[in-house]
């Protein structure tokens, strides 16, 4: 496992280095373009500065600013009130319209996450406030939030043992195209409760213990008949300014037909939401592993929600899904479901098993049981950075634990502006993950903007096709969560209607780039990668074939060369391997992470060199 940790660290270094190179090349290209039209290089630099202006600055002491704001407000002086308002506006701008303001003295994370009764120690953070001061500050901060066009809502409050309160300050997005989105991939073994939990979260009504909550999520007849998801489904949960979920009015209906029929449309949710959580509902059965892997690699999820049935434990594909999420360095959240129907001793065994697996050398995660809203609020902000794994114990029949899950999801930070994943200051790069033919519209593609931005009416190139060429087209219209928008930025998931383009000419894994004087990106048939063999029961040799997953690309590859001394690879071996696509060339870049599999054989790697 030490080999895997070292390899992942090396992969991340290669990925970061290649991103930095691509950024430098992109800026150089923009400088060239500006010089051609008589602009100055200064304009390019100004663009870069402006694009960085809204990004959170990790060097700022947010706790110190919180206390400064509170001191200014308690003074009762008008000039200081105005200064506090300016500081709050600044905090909201820097944190992209969402900020948690903490009032009162609170326990440190180490003590809070330990799950033990809180001891009043010297290491508690913040400043003690009386109930009167806390209520006064709450009132004033809520007033300021309204003055700057937002709203303040209570995320957590305790009026005993050091009065403290966490306020969520949130600004409404200017339009649907700028609504922050958090993408969560939902995985787990068959019958672990994935679709049922999503049905309860997104529809509002509880389950009847026989699958009523999940009927509205299934897309195919055979899914309704078997109760098993076989495709990559997408569900969204919208949160309003005050942090409450946006749910249909028929959420408490007992009639399955009503549940399927009377649901809020995505465009309705999008128009009302201040934040959207998108759930990628992935299949749990082993025969759909290819589909699940594609959802994890192409959907760029901010986290993986692993569902574990309390009655069955961490079995079958659950371990496989957990291993893939860890290999791809995606933060993991665990939901133990069906606690209402599981005997206490079996539940205890499942919890022990989950904790043991998370603490094992292969995972190196610190499990944190979310037993209160306060833990959910604080954990949502730090779990990814500190290698913590939140564990929720939930029942979709009684509703136990669901409030904690909703509080956690409501405050999850969006990764749309994560510089390590997306590049807003680069030329357009849009990867296609779905293709449809829509009556009276034409060919529509869905995917993620990895770099740059795109607008309706843009002249673009689509490719590479089977011969490695790019086809000209233009953006006829655009939707985000089925609501019409005019533009999209790096990190966003949008659907594009393409002008004069047949569906047969488009496939998953293609990219859309802007039509410029410079040639489009080269289509790649062969490339080199640093790989680590995670598991194989015999040996890998030249001409070995496997299914490769690399971003939105999914195609069979052949190993044509490896630099291993013996010319073969076994479990745990590392090597530089040359791959060749079997069917057609693809768009890939240096630094992209890859995963290949054939049956239970799995390899992890990173693209290091493009050959041709």
What confidence tens digit (pLDDT) does each residue in 56-94 have?
444 455 667 888 999 999 998 999 999 999 999 999 988
Highest mean pLDDT among 18-22, 74-78, 172-176, 429-433: 429-433
Residues 6+ apart with CB under 8 A from 593: 11, 15, 297, 328, 550, 604, 605, 606
Pairwise CA distance, residues 305 & 308, whole Å: 10
At 419, the pLDDT band (50, 70, 90 cuts) reads confident
464 preceded by a cis bond (ω within 30 of 0): yes
Cα 398 to the center of its chain, rounded Å? 28
pLDDT digits (tens, 9 = 90+) for 464-475: 999 999 999 999
User: Are 443 and 435 in contact, with CB atoms under 8 Å apart?
Assistant: yes
Please say whether the beta carbons of 548 and 570 come within 8 A: no
Q: How confident is the model at residue 186 (pLDDT cuts 50, 70, 90)?
A: very high
Strand partners, 594: 605
CA 111/CA 124 separation, integer angstroms: 9
End-to-end CA distance of the chain: 34
601 membership: H or E segment, kind and range = strand 601-610
Tokens, residue 118: 């809180």
Are the C-beta atoms of residues 164 and 208 closer than 8 Å to each other? no
At 257-281, the pLDDT tens digits run 555 555 677 888 888 999 999 998 8
Does the reported pTM lie above 0.75? Answer: yes
Q: What whole-number distance in Å separates Cα of residue 298 and Cα of residue 553?
A: 8
pLDDT band at 52 (very low <50, low <70, confident <90, very high): very low
Q: Is 127 helix (H, G, I), strand (E, B) or coil?
A: coil
pLDDT the model gives residue 35: 63
Rg for the chain (alpha carbons), in Å?
A: 25
Q: What are phi and psi of 224, to 5 degrees?
A: -65, -40
The span from the CA of 125 to the CA of 115, in Å, is 18
Pairwise CA distance, residues 545 & 558, whole Å: 4
Q: For residue 439, give both structure tokens.
A: 């009556």
- Which range of 19-33, 44-58, 95-109, 280-294 scores highest in mean pLDDT? It is 95-109
Residue 6 CA neighbour count, 13 Å, CB half: 7
């Amino acid at each position: 496992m030490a080999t895997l940790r070292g390899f992942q660290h090396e992969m991340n270094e290669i990925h970061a280095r290649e991103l930095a190179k691509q950024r430098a090349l992109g800026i150089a290209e923009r400088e060239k373009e500006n010089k051609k039209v008589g602009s100055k290089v200064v304009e390019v630099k100004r663009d870069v500065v402006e694009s960085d202006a809204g990004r959170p600055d990790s060097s700022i002491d947010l706790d110190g600013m919180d206390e400064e704001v509170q001191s200014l407000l308690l003074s009762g002086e008008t000039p200081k009130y105005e200064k506090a308002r300016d500081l709050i506006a600044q905090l909201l701008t820097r944190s992209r319209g969402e900020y948690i303001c903490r009032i009162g003295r609170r326990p440190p994370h180490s003590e809070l996450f330990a799950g033990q009764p809180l001891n009043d120690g010297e290491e508690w953070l913040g400043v003690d406030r009386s109930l009167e001061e806390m209520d006064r500050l709450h009132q004033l901060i809520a007033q300021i939030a309204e003055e700057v066009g937002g709203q303040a809502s209570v995320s957590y409050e305790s009026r005993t043992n050091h009065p403290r309160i966490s306020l969520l300050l949130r600004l409404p997005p200017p339009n649907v195209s700028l609504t922050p989105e958090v993408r969560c991939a939902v995985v787990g073994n068959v019958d672990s409760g994935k679709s049922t939990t999503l049905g309860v979260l997104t529809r509002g009504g509880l389950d009847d213990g026989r699958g009523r909550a999940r009927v509205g999520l299934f897309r195919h007849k055979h899914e309704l008949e078997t109760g098993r998801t076989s495709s990559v489904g997408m569900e969204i949960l919208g949160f309003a300014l005050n942090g409450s979920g946006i749910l249909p009015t028929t959420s408490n209906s007992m009639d399955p037909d009503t549940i399927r029929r009377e649901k809020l449309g995505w465009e309705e949710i999008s128009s009302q939401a201040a934040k959207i959580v998108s759930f990628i509902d992935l299949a749990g059965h082993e025969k759909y592993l290819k589909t699940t892997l594609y959802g994890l690699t192409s959907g760029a999820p901010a986290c993986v929600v692993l569902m574990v049935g309390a009655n069955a434990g961490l079995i079958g594909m659950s371990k496989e899904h957990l291993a893939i999420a860890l290999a791809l360095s995606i933060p993991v959240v665990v939901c133990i479901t069906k606690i209402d129907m599981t005997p206490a001793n079996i539940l205890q065994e499942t919890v022990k098993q989950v904790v043991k697996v998370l603490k094992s050398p292969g995972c190196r995660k610190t499990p944190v049981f979310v037993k209160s809203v306060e833990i959910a609020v604080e954990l949502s902000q730090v779990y990814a950075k500190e290698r913590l794994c939140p564990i929720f114990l939930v029942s979709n029949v009684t509703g136990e634990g669901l409030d904690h899950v909703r509080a956690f999801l409501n405050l999850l930070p969006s990764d749309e502006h994560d510089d390590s994943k997306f590049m807003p200051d680069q030329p357009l790069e849009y990867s296609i993950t779905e293709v449809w033919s829509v009556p009276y519209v034409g060919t529509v593609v869905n995917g993620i903007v990895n770099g740059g931005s795109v607008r309706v009416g843009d002249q673009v190139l689509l490719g590479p096709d089977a011969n490695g060429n790019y086809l000209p087209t233009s953006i006829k219209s655009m939707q985000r969560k089925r609501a019409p928008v005019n533009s999209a930025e790096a990190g966003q998931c949008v659907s594009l209607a393409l002008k004069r383009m047949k569906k047969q000419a488009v496939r998953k894994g293609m990219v859309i780039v802007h039509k410029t004087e410079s040639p489009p990106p080269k289509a790649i048939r062969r490339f080199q990668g640093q790989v680590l063999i995670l598991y194989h029961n015999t040996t890998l040799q030249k001409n070995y074939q496997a299914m490769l997953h690399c971003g939105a690309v999914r195609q069979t590859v052949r190993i044509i060369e490896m630099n291993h001394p013996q010319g073969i690879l076994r479990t745990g071996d590392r090597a530089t391997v040359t791959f060749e696509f079997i069917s057609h060339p693809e768009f890939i870049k240096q630094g992209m992470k890859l995963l290949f599999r054939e049956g239970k054989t799995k390899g992890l790697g990173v693209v290091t060199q493009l050959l041709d």
